[in-house]
Every structure is written in C-alpha cells, then in structure tokens.
Amino acid sequence: MRELSYAEALRECLRQTMTADERVFMIGEDIGIYGGAFGVSAGLLAEFGKERIIDTPISEAGLAGACIGAALTGMRPVGEIQFMDFVALSMEQIVLQAAKIRFMFGGKATVPMVLRMPGGSGTGAAAQHSESLENWFVHVPGLKVVMPSNAYDAKGLLRAAIYDDNPVIFVEHKLLYRTKADVPEEPYEVPLGKSKIVREGSDLTIVATSIMVQRTLQAAEQLAQENIEVEIIDPRTIKPLDSAPIIDSVKKTGRALVVHEAVKMGGFGGEVVSQIVASEAFDYLEAPVRRLAGLDTPIPYNRTLEYHAVPQVENIVDEARKLVQGGY
C-alpha cells in the first residue's frame, strides 16, 4: 500500500471531505499561502480558494468562536490553532460556549466543529510553543478529545471528527507530522471512542498516547530481546475513553503503565490508572499501577534539558523492566 506522512494523511482527509461536502471549510492562521505552520494545508488554498481556506488575523478567540457560530448554523468548520499553546487564548469560546451550548439549550443545538492543534515538545521552541494541554479539555463535559499517533489513524480520525456532531479537540504532534504509515487512498473513518491494541503481549500493559505510542513501540522491541512482552494500547480518543480493552488487557498481564508527554500531575494518566484500579482488573494486579509522564516544569529551551523533561524510549524501557521484574 501507499505510504503517506501524518501531515499528508491529514491533508488528504481535508481535501477529500472538502471536495465532497461544501459545509466543510478551514480557518486558521497562515493556513493559506503558507499552508500552515506545519504544512498540513499546503496547496489547499489553490484548490479551494480564500472562501474556504480562510486566513485569520492573530485572533484565537475569534477564530474558535467563528467555528462555533458557523457550526450552529449549518457548517462543519475545521479550525487550526497554530500551536496548541495558543489555544489558551480560545478557552472561553471552547469551554464556556462550544462545550455546553447543546446542554444549555436543552439539546436543541449541535456544534459540529473540529479544532486541530499541534502539541508537544522536542523542537527546541521553548516554553510557550511546546505545551501538551489535552487534559484541560478532558475535564470539560461536552467535548471530545482525539490524539492520533500515526498517519493511518490521523486520516480516519479526522474524518470521524469532522462528521461528529460535537466539538472535537484534535491534538496532533509536531514530531509526528513527518512519520509515515500505509494509508488507503479512499476516504475511511476511524471511529471516535475506540481504543486500539497496537501490540500484543503478556507481561505488561502500556497505555500510551500520541508520540508516546511510537516511543513505546520502540521500547517494546528492546524489551522483547529481554523476553519481556509488552501489550500496547492506544486509546486514540482520550475522551470519551474506551477503557474496556485496557481493563481486559490488565486482567491478562497483571501490570499496567501509562505513558504520556503532558505533565504527570493532574494528567490523563491519573484517569486511566483510576479506571483500572476501580475495575475488576484490580484483583489481577501483581504490581503497582504506574505512570510515566512529563515533569512538573515548563519545557526548557536548552535541548538537553528539553529531552529530559518528557519520557523517552530509555525511560519507558527502564520503567517497564522495573515493573515486570518486581522493582516496585
């Protein structure tokens, strides 16, 4: 099958959906001539014109709000927040408007919009361009939060997000944009709210999100050489969370580790752990359930410090080994 990068897969989905459906349009900063800060919309301005590839001023609140208004009145907007950090400026519109309009209006309205945004560190862009803020949205009733870890899922999840009738926060990762996978040419959906078992194993369950799925896969290769077989689960949608496969897996392996880039304190991992220990998997546990996540520090500029601020392959290997070999 044909390989596409994560960015190309997203672009193909946008192109196909926009061609087939006039309700879909894009809005964001520098998405036109420049094709977006990470090139996702490259070429789409020429294809669809300024009316449907809308370059906005630096107005994150305004653009998120414009998505809401358009969604309420029959469109299916796809907004791009240039770096996830800047979504801080859109929070009122997302949290206090988009998320609860349907509920507050007694179920009369739908807000079918997607806000795409690249999160994550590893690019040397320092503290205000490297945030992983997904858990802010997990905490808000009414939102869905999607985090594709590879090009195949990116294309299918984006389509599902566009056709979902709720506001969807779609978190991409800067370091994934150039990673490649087999991607079918025809449009397809990867349903929201379905976890995926990415690798099967019997010794330890690792739940990982976004770039950490890739790092965990690498760690699993190394661990396999030591006869440690890791089962990896990628929730793909962190809200709603499909926890059944996670619980089943932990019942099988008896051990669980959650890996994400965002700060550990108050992070998504805490939710996964508590769902595991509150379930029937509790009786099967042979070790404490652990989390490996970002340090409670802003992302530093110096590249070595930045590297150590978030989990890397070797940290996952160490942690997994310790869990399996009874280090805790």
Partner 1 sequence: MSNKESTMADLTKEELLGMYRQMHRIRAFEMAVYDGVQRGVIAGGPHLYVGEEAVAVGVCTTLRPMDYITSTHRGHGHLIAKGGQLKPMMAEILGKATGYCKGKGGSMHIADLNLGILGANGIVGGGLPTAVGAALSSKLKQGGWVVASFFGDGAANTGSFHESLNLAAAWKLPVIFVCENNTFAMFTPMEWTTAIKDLSARAAAYGMVGTTVDGNDVLAVYRAAVEARERALAGEGPTLLECKTYRFLGHYVGDPEDYRKPGEVEMHKKNDPLPRFEKVLIEAGMINKELMQQMMAETRQEAKEALEFALSSPDPDPSELTMDVRRPFKPLGDLERVSYIVEEGVG
Ligand X SMILES: Cc1ncc(C[n+]2csc(CCOP(=O)(O)OP(=O)(O)O)c2C)c(N)n1
> Which of these, 138, 322, 310, lies nearest to 228 by C-alpha position?
322
Nearer to partner 1, 297 or 325 (CB): 297
Residue 30 Cβ vs partner 1, minimum distance, rounded to whole Å: 5
**Which window, 96-104, 148-156, 251-259, 292-300, contacts partner 1 (CB under 8 A)?**
292-300
Separation CA 256–CA 234 (nearest Å) = 13
Is residue 59 a contact point for partner 1 (CB under 8 A)?
A: yes
DSSP-derived 3-state class of residue 324: helix
Q: Show the binding pattern over residues 243-282: x = contacts partner 1 (CB under 8 A), - = does not.
A: ----------------------------------------
Kindly state the smallest distance separating residue 137's Cβ from ligand X, in Å. 18
- What stretches of the chain show up as alpha helix (H) in DSSP? 6-20, 44-48, 60-72, 91, 101-104, 134-138, 151-162, 211-224, 244-253, 268-277, 303-309, 313-324
Residue 310 Cβ vs partner 1, minimum distance, rounded to whole Å: 11
Taking CB under 8 A as the binding criterion, the range among 70-78, 95-103, 229-237, 297-305 that sits at the site for partner 1 is 297-305
Q: Which does 61 bind (CB under 5 to 8 A by kind): ligand X, partner 1, none?
A: partner 1
Q: Where are the alpha helices (DSSP H) in 78-194?
A: 91, 101-104, 134-138, 151-162
Catalytic entry in 8, 12, 29, 60:
60
For residue 109, the cross-strand partners are none
Provide CB contacts within 8 A for 155, sequence distance 6+. 4, 9, 10, 12, 13, 183, 188, 190
For ligand X, the closer of residues 56 and 275 by Cβ is 56
The residue assigned the tokens 């070429």 is 43
As measured in angstroms, the least distance from the Cβ of 11 to partner 1 is 17
129 is catalytic: yes
| Contact flags string 13-52 toward partner 1, x per CB under 8 A | ----------------xx-xxx------------------
Measured from the Cβ of residue 316, the count of other Cβ atoms closer than 10 Å reads 25
Query: Hey, what are 102's tokens?
Result: 């349907």
Binding partner selected for residue 300 from ligand X, partner 1, none, CB under the kind-specific 5 to 8 Å limit: partner 1
DSSP bridge partners of 55: 28
Catalytic residues: 60, 129
Binding site for partner 1 (CB under 8 A): 29-30, 32-34, 55-59, 61-62, 85-86, 89, 124-129, 295-298, 300-305, 308-309
